[in-house]
Amino acid sequence: MSEIFGKALQRIETPIPGLVLFELPVHGDSRGWFKENWQREKMVALGLEDFGPVQNNISFNDAVGTTRGIHAEPWDKWVSVATGRIFGAWVDLREGPTFGAVFTTEIDPSRAIFVPRGVGNSYQTLEPDTAYAYLVNDHWSPDAEYAFLNLADETVAVEWPIPLSEVEISDKDRAHPRLADVTPIPPRKILVLGAAGQLGLALRKQLGEAPHIEYATRADLDVTSPSLDKARRWRDYGTIINASAYTAVDAAETPEGRTAAWQTNAISVGLLARIADEHGITLVHVSSDYVFDGKSSEAYTEDAPLSPLGVYGQSKAAGDIAAATAARHYVIRTSWVIGDGKNFVRTMASLAERGIDPNVVNDQIGRLSFTSDIAAAIAHLLDTNAEHGTYNATGDGPAVSWADVAREVFRFTGHDPARVSGVSTETYFANATSAVAPRPMNSVLDLRKLQSTGFVPADWATSLAGLLGASGGAA
């Protein structure tokens, strides 16, 4: 046993992505030995995700040569040995370029290995009375997707220390298919909520139509339902992108709108955050500049104090707080959103074409955010595994007023920008006959945190010119 003592805690990468071997410190004396078999703080510090185990299983094997596998389940495992020694073999059975990749090694009490979802796991005991232990982060379900590979598969060609002809193998394991007949384990699903909205449509263009990506409208999935946690087998999902929102800023000031805004923008986000935390899901929640009062003379950073003015902003701020309770979360703050469907740019282009000279607010300052750019920023954060937290995501470039944007629309569509007259917010809404929500005067969001991840936000004016030019002069 002396050879297992004295190791330093160490992380060792393998050829299979996400399959990570760990050397564990084992402390012993004449009485026996002790080790920390799983220590969350230390493992996370070494870059292993907090995979949230929910069950601890032990398989006791009294004979040398006991051989089990190759099994790939839709959950993660932390595999170790309490007593004895095994030869372990792992085969990547996930969809993708490393399908069929193999890694083998011996595991004794001074080693453990993290086996990610979809990687086939198998072992052969090398000593009698071997206790094989594994933590898993989901419970067995008949509805889950599993994959199995024959221990004797010629393609992966595992070099078992004891020939398979000399060991006892269960009939079930002997009947597993060869690699060519294995159905790969698909990635955990991505669920996009608000799929019919402007950002939802852009996310569909950005993410595509792969089988593991699911798009849902309110009709498909009611995020305000108290039984939301029962609406899906949530452990199959890796990411929820919440692009659904109540965005009727002025109507939110009415009794009916207030209830709807809080239900969609805050309460439902709390339900999603609880689901995400329980099942190890990354929650992406889209927020707004309206969480600030707009009184700052500087661009708002992600950690600026929340100070919403109206009901819409208050409900969005509450949603931000709720989303942040999920361990894996991205809160995406944006402003002045432009995408497919009715929006400010289309309205201005239509007025220009119809010969109407508009009065447009000139004391609200910000930058346009095109949904295609927001979708690209979300995809970038997910693809690069950026640090979880809040990120501002808007167009880059100079801060301007709505009147300035309107003049650019007129100019890009071949009309005289001078036809646009600037007026104050107070003047614009002076004769309003229905509820009007207070607006932040400064909606400029600081982009340095997003840029530090390697993402380059597009200049809003360049994106505007591209949109108007691509549509033949009309948005």
CB 283 within 8 Å of CB 328? yes
Strands 365-366 and 400-401: antiparallel
Q: What values do phi and psi take at 292, rounded to 5?
A: -110, 160
Q: What pLDDT is stored for residue 275 in this prediction?
A: 96
**Element housing 242 (H / E):** strand 237-242
212 given a catalytic annotation: no
Rounded Cα distance, 413 and 15, in Å: 54
Q: What is the largest CA-CA distance in the chain?
A: 94
**Element housing 132 (H / E):** strand 130-136
pLDDT of 6 above 80? no
pLDDT of 462 above 50? yes
Q: What pLDDT is stored for residue 423 in this prediction?
A: 96
- Supply the DSSP symbol for 458: P
CB 241 within 8 Å of CB 284? yes
The amino acid at 336: W
Q: pLDDT, tens digit, for every residue of 27-44?
A: 887 788 898 999 999 998
Q: What pLDDT is stored for residue 4 in this prediction?
A: 75
CB 415 within 8 Å of CB 367? no
pLDDT of 471 above 80? no
329 given a catalytic annotation: no
CB 449 within 8 Å of CB 301? yes
Catalytic residue among 71, 176, 279, 415: 71
* SS3 (DSSP) at 347: helix
Q: What pLDDT is stored for residue 432 in this prediction?
A: 85
- Supply the DSSP symbol for 282: E
Question: 40 Cβ partners below 8 Å, 6+ apart?
Answer: 50
- Name the CATH superfamily housing domain 189-470: NAD(P)-binding Rossmann-like Domain (3.40.50.720)
CB 124 within 8 Å of CB 35? no
How many C-beta neighbours within 10 Å does residue 116 have?
19
Rounded Cα distance, 43 and 390, in Å: 25
Q: pLDDT, tens digit, for every residue of 431-448?
A: 888 889 999 999 999 999
Rounded Cα distance, 465 and 467, in Å: 5
- Structural tokens at position 23: 């050397």
Q: What percent of the chain has pLDDT over 70?
A: 98
Q: What values do phi and psi take at 333, rounded to 5?
A: -95, 130
**Reported confidence tier of residue 225, pLDDT bands at 50, 70, 90:** confident
Q: What percent of the chain has pLDDT over 90?
A: 83
Catalytic residue among 123, 132, 134, 237: 134
| Mean pLDDT for the stretch of residues 137-156 | 90
- C-alpha pair distances (Å), 416 with each of 173, 422, 429, 460, 470: 76, 14, 25, 20, 20
CATH of domain 2-181: 2.60.120.10
**Reported confidence tier of residue 473, pLDDT bands at 50, 70, 90:** very low
Q: What pLDDT is stored for residue 297 in this prediction?
A: 94
pLDDT of 74 above 80? yes
Q: What pLDDT is stored for residue 2 in this prediction?
A: 58
Please state the domain extents for the chain: 2-181, 189-470
CB 74 within 8 Å of CB 236? yes
